[in-house]
């Protein structure tokens, strides 16, 4: 009796096995005109992404705001391996500012197309982008064009979804080599020239005065040749020690002679010099005027015997 039951169960399993196998295998050949977009699990050969596919850029405003996160995008790849633009859909995003960058990048992607029954077929895909912020190096990105890049690494989630981590930040800084004093002085002068150009000439037509501190502070005179080279039309550069008193109009004590009319001079001093590599150096320059001031950070890079300079205001104050 027991033997008969075992035989019956085995027969049932053997009969069911071909049916189950048939249910899991694709129905070949495909019907004529079959244009269904299939899930990745329904194809025989998965689509293969082109290694040259572009990565999305990290939105500059989101970088400055310190915002990162995961963007999940879904789309369909056609039988030629191209992404169908109309099918791109942002499933999840930490901020709408990421969406346009992801859409633009994915719309240009190419694949070796998926296949079923030896025919190319449309297939639905998902992809995750993890936008990762490098907080400590944002200012270097702003100062050196070569730092503005996206590094991306791709792995796979447990469910098979590709995930790309997008890190926007500078390349590793090379060990700083000692700079020859004369070369460092030349780089510093290039930074000061940029800050003075940013200050600009006065709109009133009167000569604007910049008081430049020497290497020992306001009591030390800077190099006279530098003072001459930094002077330009509408801007007179003078050593701080020899600068006139403030030009604040109509502000004087009883018994004093009024100061000449005009604006207060700009007091300028280099506070810090930091060599980052054999070709890159940072300068912090303080600019004071009347009751306020700015601190500029300048990135100076040596390129083919010339200096490339970019400065940004990193702090401002009013007293």
Total number of domains constituting the chain:
2
pLDDT digits 0-9 by tens, 161-211: 899 988 865 544 445 568 899 999 999 999 999 999 998 988 878 889 999
Same domain, 281 and 215: yes
Same domain, 110 and 228: no
Whether the predicted pLDDT of 248 surpasses 70:
no
Residue 148 banded pLDDT, cuts 50, 70, 90: very low
Domain finish residue from 119, 140, 168: 168
Is residue 282 within 8 Å of residue 276, measured between CB atoms? Answer: yes
Q: Is residue 309 part of a domain?
A: yes
Q: Is residue 28 part of a domain?
A: no
Q: Is residue 22 part of a domain?
A: no
**Most confident region among 67-76, 148-157, 207-216, 255-264 by mean pLDDT:** 67-76
Same domain, 189 and 151: no
> What are the helix (H) ranges across the chain?
2-24, 60-65, 96-107, 138-143, 181-199, 224-230
Q: Which residue has the higher pLDDT, 121 or 154?
A: 121
Q: Which domain covers residue 283, as residue numbers? A: 181-245+261-318
Phi, psi of 279 (to 5 degrees): -125, -5
Q: Is residue 1 part of a domain?
A: no
Same domain, 195 and 153: no
The span from the CA of 74 to the CA of 303, in Å, is 43
Domain finish residue from 146, 168, 190: 168
- Give the pLDDT confidence score for residue 26 in this predicted structure: 57
Whether the predicted pLDDT of 316 surpasses 50:
yes
Q: Is residue 189 part of a domain?
A: yes
Query: What CATH code is carried by the domain that includes residue 66?
Result: 3.30.2420.10
């Amino acid at each position: 009796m027991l033997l008969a039951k075992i035989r019956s169960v085995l027969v049932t399993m053997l009969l069911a096995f071909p049916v189950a196998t048939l249910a899991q295998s694709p129905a070949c050949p495909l019907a004529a005109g079959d244009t269904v977009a299939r899930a990745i699990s329904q194809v025989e050969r998965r689509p293969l992404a082109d290694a040259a596919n572009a990565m999305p850029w990290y939105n500059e405003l989101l970088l400055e705001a310190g915002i990162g996160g995961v963007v999940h995008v879904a789309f369909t790849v056609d039988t030629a391996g191209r992404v169908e633009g109309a099918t791109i859909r942002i499933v999840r995003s930490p901020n709408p500012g990421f969406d346009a960058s992801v859409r633009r990048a994915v719309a240009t992607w190419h694949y070796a197309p998926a296949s079923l029954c030896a025919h190319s077929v449309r297939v639905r895909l998902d992809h995750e982008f993890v936008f990762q912020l490098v907080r400590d190096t944002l200012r270097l990105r702003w100062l050196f064009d070569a730092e503005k890049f996206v590094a991306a690494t791709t792995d796979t989630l447990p469910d098979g979804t590709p995930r790309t981590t997008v890190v926007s930040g500078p390349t590793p800084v090379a060990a700083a080599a000692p700079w020859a004093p004369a070369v460092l002085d030349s780089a510093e002068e290039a930074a000061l020239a940029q800050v003075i150009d940013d200050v600009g000439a006065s709109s009133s037509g009167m000569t604007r005065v910049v008081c430049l501190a020497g290497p020992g502070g306001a009591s030390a005179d800077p190099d006279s040749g530098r003072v001459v080279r930094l002077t330009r039309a509408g801007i007179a550069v003078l050593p701080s020690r020899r600068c006139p008193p403030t030009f604040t109009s109509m502000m004087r004590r009883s018994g004093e002679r009024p100061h000449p009319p005009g604006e207060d001079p700009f007091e300028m001093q280099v506070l810090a010099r930091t060599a980052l590599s054999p070709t890159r150096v940072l300068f912090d320059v303080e600019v004071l005027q009347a009751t306020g001031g700015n601190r500029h950070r300048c990135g100076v890079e040596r390129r083919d015997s010339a200096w490339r300079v970019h400065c940004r205001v990193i702090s401002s104050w009013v007293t």
